[in-house]
Structure 1
Amino acid sequence: MVTLRSYQPNDGPALLALFRDTIRRVNSRDYSPPQVAAWASDDIDTVQWFGRFAGRFVPVAEEDGRPVGFAELEPDGHIDRVYVSADHHGRGVGRQLLAAVVAEARRVGLARLFTEASITARPFFEGQGFVVLAPQVVTLRGVEFVNYRMERVLAEPGAAADGGGRSAFWRS
Structure 2
Amino acid sequence: MSPASQTFALRPMLPDDVPLLAEIFRGSVQELAIEDYSDAQIEAWIEAADDEAAFGKRLADQLTLLATLDGAPVGFTSLKGPDVIDMLYVHPAAARQGAGTMLIDALEKLAAARGADKLTVEASDSAQDFFRARGYTARSRNTVLRGEEWLANTTMEKVLRAPAGTTLQ
Q: Please give the TM-score of this superposition, normalised by the length of structure 1.
A: 0.87
Choose between structure 1 and 2: higher helix proportion: 2
Give SS of 1:52's match: helix
Conserved? CA contact 1:116–1:149, under 8 Å: yes
RMSD of Structure 2 on Structure 1 (CA) = 1.7
Distance between the aligned counterparts of 2:27 and 2:68, measured in 1?
16
The size of the alignment, in residue pairs, is: 158
Percent sequence identity over aligned pairs: 32
For 2:67, the equivalent position in structure 1 comes to 61
Does 1:6 find its partner at 2:39?
Answer: no
Does 1:97 find its partner at 2:103?
Answer: yes
Distance between the aligned counterparts of 1:101 and 1:109, measured in 2?
12
Q: How does 1:26-105 map to 2 (within 5 A)?
A: 26-41=32-47, 44-105=50-111
**Structure 1 pair 16/43, CA: closer, same or farther in 2 (3 Å)?**
closer
The offset of 1:47, in angstroms, is 1.3
The offset of 1:3, in angstroms, is 0.6
**Is there any run of 5+ residues in structure 1 with no aligned partner, and where?**
158-172
Letter in 2 for 1:51: K
Identify which of 152, 155, 169 aligns with 1:149. Answer: 155
Q: Please give the TM-score of this superposition, normalised by the length of structure 2.
A: 0.88
